[in-house]
Amino acid sequence: MTTTIRPSGPETATPGGGRSRGYDVCVNGRVVGGLTLSADGGAGPRSGGISGLAVDRRDRGRGRGIIAVLAAEEVLRSWGCTRAEARVPAGLGEEAGLGLARTLGYTLRSTHMRKALPDQPPPLPEGSTGRPLRADEYGSWLAAETQGYLGELVAHGLSFEEAGAKAYADHAELLPQGLDTPDTVLSLLESGDAGPVGSIWVHTRFRELPDGTPLAWVFDIVVDEAQRGRGHGRALMLLAERECLARGVGQLGLNVFADNRTAQRLYASLGYTPFLHVLHKAL
């Protein structure tokens, strides 16, 4: 029997010049499942995504999923993608999905976590206060943020040139108006006489959950190197939660890299739980 994928609907343009399309997984023309493909737009290397892979129960265990992913990779190559991401939801079927991705050479890159925030803003630790980033501080903050992001991208497989192009493009898209970008919080944490000890960058209405609830997103959290190990990372996350609640948003999400065990433990201790695993592979 021959397993193939075929478009299940028209292609959709996504923000920033990307594209997305749904596909049926077929066996001899019979639909047995589906998946969704997407590709980034903009400058820099193009990354493609494979998500929503599902195969009917009676057709599982016969290699249908493996062949469907391999066929999906060929489509992504034809779209000009040099990397593929497999997105596996946490929960039921998680281990099977992760196992399939690893069999095909994908490596866990990061996990998305989220939390339903409490009704009342959490207090900050004694001596800690938050304040907005000032206009005269924005330039140096952006330079340091871009450099840190570039380093993370290089550490996770991109060349320096690819990482530089992506870092520039992503910041231009996410902060088009700098400090005045709508739904954006850029705040500093101050602690006692030490002054600023870290920063947080949050988009308070980054996307909507399936039920229409807005989900805020932590784009970056940084504790100054000399101030690490003193609980400031936890305080910054509490500050982020306070900022979201002040704007009427009760769900906060974030991305944590697979090799950052310290951050994983921090977020788990604050009540954040995984909802999506992101694996990647060079095409």
Nearest to 204 by CA among 187, 229, 188: 187
Count of domains in the chain?
2
pLDDT band at 74 (very low <50, low <70, confident <90, very high): very high
Distance, in Å, from the CA atom of 183 to the CA atom of 200, rounded to the nearest integer, reads 14
Residue-level pLDDT at 268: 97
| Residue 160 counted as domain residue | yes
Flag whether pLDDT at 43 surpasses 80. Answer: no
pLDDT digits (tens, 9 = 90+) for 212-233: 889 999 999 999 988 989 999 9
Judge if 79 and 202 occupy the same domain: no
Answer yes or no: do 84 and 166 share one domain.
no
Specify the amino acid at residue 35. L
Specify whether 130 is located in the same domain as 251.
yes
Question: Does any domain span residue 162?
Answer: yes
Question: Angle, nearest 10°, between helix axes 64-78 and 94-103?
Answer: 60
d(CA 268, CA 180): 32
pLDDT in tens, 188-216: 999 988 789 999 999 999 988 878 889 99
Clarify whether residues 129 and 100 are in a common domain.
Answer: no
CA distance readout (Å), 242 to 93, 130, 214, 247? 34, 10, 15, 9
Indicate which CATH number applies to the domain containing 195: 3.40.630.30
Range of the domain at 81: 3-105
CB distance 217 to 207 below 8 Å: yes
Co-location of 128 and 268 in the same domain: yes
Q: Are residues 146 and 258 in the same domain?
A: yes
198 belongs to a structural domain:
yes
240 in any annotated domain: yes
Q: Does some domain include residue 111?
A: no
At which of 73, 105, 137 does a domain end?
105
Q: 160 and 223: one domain?
A: yes
In a domain, 59, yes or no: yes
Supply the pTM of this predicted model.
Answer: 0.89
CB atoms within 10 A of CB 138: 14
Q: How far apart are CA 51 and CA 25, in angstroms?
A: 13
Last residue of a domain, one of 60, 81, 105: 105
Question: Based on the domain organization, do 120 and 231 belong to the same domain?
Answer: yes
Cα separations in angstroms, 153 against 33, 102, 109, 150, 197: 33, 21, 11, 5, 24
Average of per-residue pLDDT across 136-163: 87
User: What is the SS3 assignment for 196?
Assistant: strand
Q: Is residue 54 part of a domain?
A: yes
d(CA 246, CA 241): 9
Q: Give the strand pairing for 128-132 and 107-116.
A: unpaired
Chosen domain end from 56, 80, 105: 105
pLDDT tens-digit profile of 78-119? 999 998 999 999 988 899 899 999 999 999 999 999 999 999
Does one domain contain both 153 and 187? yes
Could you tell me if 58 and 161 lie in one domain?
Answer: no
For residues 87 and 174, state if they share a domain: no
pLDDT single digits (tens) 11-29? 999 877 889 999 999 999 8
97 with 128, same domain?
no
Residue 100: inside a domain, yes or no?
Answer: yes
